[in-house]
A = this chain, B = another copy of it.
Amino acid sequence: MEFTRPLPAYLVTRYHGWKATTYAENHAWYRRLADEGQRPRAMVISCCDSRVHVTSIFGADQGEFFIHRNIANLVPTYEPDGNHHGTSAALEYAVTALKVAHVIVLGHSNCGGVQGCLDMCQGRAPELEETSSFVGRWMDILKPGFEAVKDDPDMPRALEHEAVRVSLRNLMTFPFVKEAVEKGTLSLHGLWTDIGEGGLMHIDRRSGQFTVV
């Protein structure tokens, strides 16, 4: 592992800070979580973006949320083709093994991934259209959503909102999700947060529009 490096000192210091405070205050609980396993109540699918931490917004402590983070909080459709599908694997584990009660898709403002998709859809990003672009190919998941909002003057927000709707619809293509939703043991929730304003909106089930929480 000659190509690796030791942990930067500023992170070592922070780790020791956590160990001496948060861990020390809660070690018996963490010990139990290790011994008895996790029992998270919800799965959250959110973006990798460094400005959106669901653990902060919802005051999550250890053990509460099973969190998958990818570019633009996207869920692809159900494709059991034997390839590696990280998002689908996380979803399958959360719903069938952990039996979470909620799956929450959390979108956000100023999303670089959504902006890239918008650029592609408007013909301004040839580099993202190349086969070799992982970001481009990942954002293809959102492309079908562009049609629905392409005349909305409030871009890229409209496409950010649509990203949450596309993910929610794709969630329902997974048989184990659909079945659990229909049985009533799983509920799906769509959220979107504004980074600068600290706002939070959720999808209204009747209109499909986002409304302030």
Contact B50 A1 (CB under 8 A): no
A116 CB to nearest chain B CB (Å)? 8
A137 within 8 A of B: yes
Question: What separation, in Å, do the CA atoms of A141 and B89 have in the docked complex?
Answer: 12
Contact B206 A2 (CB under 8 A): yes
A121 within 8 A of B: no
Residues in B neighbouring A110, C-beta threshold 8 A = 34, 37
Contact A87 B89 (CB under 8 A): no
A126 within 8 A of B: no
A97 within 8 A of B: yes
Contact B165 A84 (CB under 8 A): no
A213 CB to nearest chain B CB (Å)? 6
Contact A92 B205 (CB under 8 A): no
Q: Which residue of B lies closest to A181 (CB)?
A: B3
A137 partner, pick from B39, B82, B197, beta carbons under 8 A: B82
Contact A67 B69 (CB under 8 A): yes
Known A50-B62, A89-B135, A137-B85: A29·B41 in contact at CB below 8 Å: yes
Contact B48 A15 (CB under 8 A): no
Contact A134 B29 (CB under 8 A): no
Residues in B neighbouring A135, C-beta threshold 8 A = 89, 92-93, 97
A12 CB to nearest chain B CB (Å)? 6
Q: Which residue of B lies closest to A74 (CB)?
A: B86
Known A7-B189, A7-B202: A67·B38 in contact at CB below 8 Å: no
A187 CB to nearest chain B CB (Å)? 4
A3 partner, pick from B1, B61, B172, beta carbons under 8 A: B172
Contacts A18-B57, A48-B67 aside, 14 further interface pairs with beta carbons under 8 A come to: A1-B165, A1-B203, A1-B204, A1-B208, A4-B168, A15-B213, A30-B198, A31-B185, A31-B197, A38-B50, A68-B70, A83-B137, A86-B86, A91-B134
The 3 closest A-B pairs by CB, nearest first: A17-B17, A20-B20, A34-B196
